Amino acid sequence: MIASPLPSTEDKPRRHEGGADIVRIGGVQFTWPGRNPFTLAIDGFSLAKGERLLLIGPSGSGKSTFLSLLAGIAKPDAGKIDVLGCDIARLDGAARDRFRAEHYGIIFQMFNLLPYASVIDNVLLPLSFSPSRKKRAEARGGGRTEAARLLGNLGIEPSLIESGSAASLSVGQQQRVAAARALIGSPEIVIADEPTSSLDRNRQQAFLDLLFAEVEAAGATLIMVSHDESLAGRFSRVADLAEIAQASRGGR
Ligand SMILES: Nc1ncnc2c1ncn2[C@@H]1O[C@H](COP(=O)(O)OP(=O)(O)OP(=O)(O)O)[C@@H](O)[C@H]1O
């Protein structure tokens, strides 16, 4: 069920059941270089801890660009992107990479698994880059135990966990492995860029059931992009990117 109406940029930051803001963006400008440059401007946006935001909008409207800014993959030309009290717009590339590894689990559109690595090694990868996620996984019995638990909960057969390589998996299985990799070590923010686009309706719903259960168990905040507005009822908030950001093309 959608908790409340879609916000305008003038709205006060929305809070989710008392959760404090985990993200606050203000005055952001970002332009992709090129002959017909695409610019995204975000006057103000905030996200409360524990929210599950579904981000919708037409193809090419800038949803992935928005996620890249939110995750510190792209650096804005101006403005503030405050995440967990840190303005990531002020960090250099290496510091943003470290921050992302510590605090974000990301399910990319193409999954980005290491094809020749085993399923479990793909899931364990983020722990090599994040001391705090490693610590949290260790507190739950160790990285391998936690990876196997997540993979099992996400419906990966035990026989595939140690021996299967990512390249040998179906698209649906790759997606589940990508979700386990995003969730291991309980990052505060989980970002999913159209993770269900290659699944049929039943598998889509089953995947979301598993994803939401794990996100909730970890107390994480979820931002998911999808073209499928019928998923809206499952999220605490739904926003069209056009309500959050102004997109423009060409010289400014
Ligand atoms: N790496 C890049 N380099 C240059 N321009 C880019 C890059 N990525 C995106 N763009 C520009 O930004 C625009 C918005 O792209 P973006 O991928 O953010 O949209 P989207 O809403 O996520 O689209 P889709 O729903 O099709 O994935 C593109 O049309 C393109 O012009």
- In this prediction the pTM is 0.88
Q: What pLDDT shows up at residue 70?
A: 97
CB of 64 within 6 A of ligand 1: the answer is yes
Beta strand spans in the chain (E): 21-32, 38-48, 52-56, 78-83, 86-87, 104-107, 189-193, 221-225, 237-240, 246-249
Q: What pLDDT shows up at residue 229?
A: 84
For CA atoms 25, 27, 32, 37, the dihedral sign is: positive
Q: Helices 93-103 and 119-129, interaxial angle, to 10°?
A: 120
CATH number at residue 232: 3.40.50.300
CB of 108 within 6 A of ligand 1: the answer is no
**CA gap 166, 175 in Å, rounded:** 10
Decide if 2 is inside a domain. Answer: no
Dist. CA 69 → ligand 1 center (Å): 12
Tens digit of pLDDT for each residue in 209-244? Answer: 888 998 998 889 999 999 888 889 999 999 999 999
Tens digit of pLDDT for each residue in 180-195? Answer: 999 999 999 999 998 8
Decide if 188 is inside a domain. Answer: yes
Q: Which of 35, 54, 64 to mutate to test the pocket of ligand 1 (most atoms within 8 A of CB)?
A: 64
Strand, helix or coil at 18? coil
Dist. CA 235 → ligand 1 center (Å): 24
The boundaries of the domain holding residue 141 are 51-59+93-245
Decide if 36 is inside a domain. Answer: no
Nearest to 245 by CA among 39, 14, 35, 23: 39
Instruction: State the ipTM, two decimals.
Output: 0.97
Contact 46, 23 (CB under 8 A): yes
Q: Which two tokens stand for residue 15?
A: 């809070």
CB of 34 within 6 A of ligand 1: the answer is yes
